[in-house]
Amino acid sequence: MLLFRIISTRILQLVPVFFGVTFMTFAILNLLPGNVAVAILGSYATPQSIRILNQQLGLNQPFLVRYWEWLRNFFHGNLGSSLETHQSVISILSQRAPVTFELIIVAMCIALVVAIPLAVLSAKKTGGFADRMSTLLSMIGVSVPGFVIGLALILLVAEKSKIFPASGFSPLSGGLFSNLRTIFLPAFSLGFVLLATYTRVLRSDMREQLATEDYVLTARAKGIGPWSLIVRHVLRNSLFGFITVVALNLGTLFGGTVIIESVFDLPGIGSVLVTAITDRDSPTVQGIVVVLALAVVLANLVADLLYVVLDPRVRYGNAGE
């Protein structure tokens, strides 16, 4: 029953998110300077050809009429076609979205696989090697943008070792090893900033619990070893706030793909989004924005479900007791 309530709440929240995001995107594109027809035909287009193309694309219609037409087509399963390439937006998303979502998933896995053990080791021994390393990573992650990390990896790793390519993408159909070779450096560049953030947040929360919580004193009095105390109790209790941080930073991942895909020449939706915004290709921009908004909402739904799994009080509706 609780799971149904959580899922239904997220679905209801999706409605205002959908209308808000699509309307704002449509409005911003409408306010950008320039003319779509001129961008398509070129600067030497005649006024007559511009007027004809505007009529063909429906660009001569008022803003609200065009937005309503897009909504009507969307609810009929039609996201329209690119104004620049005339390819259907659904086709573009089906080709490009898997690359972007794989990049995000691998980046998230790298961040979590490194951040959680490093935070545990750092919390266990303050001032130790792991603690100093986590502090250094946090400082670098906060100070250096992801695209700078990407450029550094291209120069220091891709160009020197030749193990990882500096650009391009190999799909999973071409083999898992080849796919991971092409996705690792972009994913590490994208996930490094989050790795630093996750390590700092989790380490601070675990240290606070070790210093202030009564259950820690009770566990030590019962003779529970330090590793068992940290991993089985402190880490589990710290995961609640940590999950919230992970969910809230998903927007950073999606935003970072736009730059990282350009740096590593990946055929994802981030690179298409940059081109579509430049060309004021509203159907393509709208389709990509809708997909990203849905992905963020679904990811937050997963975070809510993880709360239910980790905390029995939430599971039985007694969180406030």
How much of the chain exceeds pLDDT 90, in percent? Answer: 7
Parse the chain into domains and list their residue ranges: 95-315
**pLDDT for residue 320:** 42
Give the integer Cα–Cα distance in Å for 164 and 153. Answer: 10
Q: Is the pLDDT of residue 2 over 50?
A: yes
Q: Which of 20-34, 37-51, 88-102 has the highest mean pLDDT?
A: 88-102
Confidence of residue 321 (pLDDT cuts 50, 70, 90): very low
Helix, strand, coil share of the chain (percent; to 5)? 80, 0, 20
In the chain, the percentage of residues whose pLDDT exceeds 70 is 92
279's CB contacts (< 8 A; 6+ apart) are 36, 39, 40, 83, 84
Residue 113 has what DSSP assignment? H
CA dist list (Å): 308 to 3, 65, 215, 250, 314: 8, 44, 21, 20, 5
pLDDT surpasses 90 at 196: no
Rounded Cα distance between 135 and 126, Å, is 11
Unique residue bearing structure tokens 């998303």: 93
Q: Evaluate if residue 314 carries a pLDDT over 60.
A: no
Q: Is the pLDDT of residue 126 over 80?
A: no
pLDDT top residue among 276 and 252 = 276
**Sequence letter at residue 46:** T
Q: Can you give 246-309 as a three-state secondary structure string?
A: HHHCHHHHHHHHHHHHHHHCCCCHHHHHHHHHHCCCHHHHHHHHHHHHHHHHHHHHHHHHHHHH
pLDDT at 311: 62
- pLDDT tens across 228-262, in order? 888 888 888 888 778 878 877 777 788 888 889 98
pLDDT (tens digit, 9 = 90+) per residue, 36-88? 777 677 667 788 887 887 787 777 788 888 888 888 888 888 888 887 788 88
For residues 34 and 27, which has the higher predicted lDDT (pLDDT)?
A: 27
pLDDT for the residue numbered 319: 44
Q: Which amino acid is at 188?
A: F
* Structure confidence at residue 155 as a pLDDT band (50, 70, 90): confident
Question: What class, spelled out in words, does domain 95-315 have in CATH?
Answer: mainly alpha
